[in-house]
Amino acid sequence: MSTKAPRDFRPALHYTPKKGWINDPNGLVYARGKYHLFAQYGPEPHWGDIHWSHAESPDLLHWRDLPNAIAPDGLGMAFSGSAVYDEENASGLGTPDNPPIIAMYTSHGEQEQQSIAYSLDGESFIKYPGNPVIHNTEKPDFRDPKVFKNPKGGWTVVLAAGDHVEFYGSEDLLHWQKTGSFGPDGNYSKGVWECPDLFPLTLGGREVWVLLVSMGACPENLGSRTQYFLGNFDGETFTCDGSFNKPEFIDSGFDNYAGVTFFGTQERVLMGWAANWVYAGDLPTGEFCGQMTLPRALSLVDTPLGGPRLSCAPVSDKLFGAPVPIDGSLPGEVFKLTVSGEGTADITLSNGGGEAFSFGVDSSGEVYIDRSRAGLRSFNADFAKPEYGRISAPRFFTGPWTLELTFDRSICELFADRGTRVFTQLLYPSEPYRHIDLAGNAKAEISLMV
């Protein structure tokens, strides 16, 4: 397999491995002043021989690679999971003066079972000799544990189990008992359930619990997407409040999957895998394959047209300088565009090779993003299909709008209407975009990377 890319498509802002493959972010945790990012990792630029890779950051934006944290063993490959900082040493695997970081992951062998590993220095991990800590001999899909502190004491883990999620409770992170489940009733999307997360947010002074479930690739969703539900968690199980009557996804674009939030942060921060299982194995990026989304702060917003909705705000603004008016040219391949307007508008980025990428608000009032003429597409038959080129979604607000686009060489993230609509898209222009054109009642500013 060739590892030569048509040109350098490696993003400058989004996390990528130096070489090899990554998919789901794992074990997102803030501990001892550092953010830790683990991920599903294979040494070749295609899926296989899955380990946990490891990187750390002081600010969620600048990452330092560390040695792989968890390797396959006799129980199987190290599939997705999560990590917590056991500050009170409930597990007894550390000391009061040096509490451990504990990672729970899926051992993917003949069965999928849950195992743990722990670290006392934040870098090297020791597998617990009593693995697996949650046994399974019956369910073909039983994976992706997300551990969090139970508001009534102790710990809870939510696991994906095919067409539903299951909840288990523990006092010491080592011994677990099932406490409840959610689904398949209440679900509106096809696809196997994966990579759940559960956390509280505040809306109008009241607590609302948000359940994320990544839905495996299916034709109805044009690949893999991440669904969310709103409701309540009573310490044992989640109950949906029925806010939605159709699938609601955290991202309206094609390329944000398996996103989960950090443990230990003051605000709720999410990162996802910026790809889609339909075509991820064929990306034209050479020696590496896969990247993460930029980190996003989550909140709930009560919208006039859609009621309560999850909102995503990029936490990467400090990477950019002050905005300046656009003059029709695009300096560089990494920038942020802020476009404000009302009614219909089209914003088009183009290059000398006849390629063009556009986004805006269409005549039906929907926000859209269109990569159908943006660049290379023939590397994968599905990526080249029209339905994977343009996508749109209705607004939850009326009147004037603001669109914020972070563009990073081969990936863009579009935030609309206070982050209640987000589109993450991969695109591969054969040469950089150098021009920008605006049509409609809109004005644009550009901010360059500092």
| R_g of the chain, CA atoms, integer Å | 21
Q: How many helices (H) and strands (E) does the chain have?
A: 0, 30
- The catalytic residue among 24, 86, 251, 370 is 24
Dist. CA 175–CA 160, nearest whole Å: 19
Dist. CA 391–CA 426, nearest whole Å: 13
Dist. CA 155–CA 168, nearest whole Å: 8
Dist. CA 31–CA 117, nearest whole Å: 16
Dist. CA 89–CA 101, nearest whole Å: 9
199: burial class by Cβ within 10 Å (0-12, 13-18, 19+)? middle
Sign of CA dihedral 302, 304, 306, 310: negative
Dist. CA 231–CA 212, nearest whole Å: 11
Reply yes or no on whether 24 is catalytic.
yes
Torsion of CA 114, 217, 413, 24, to 10 degrees: 20
- Which residues participate in catalysis according to the annotation? 24
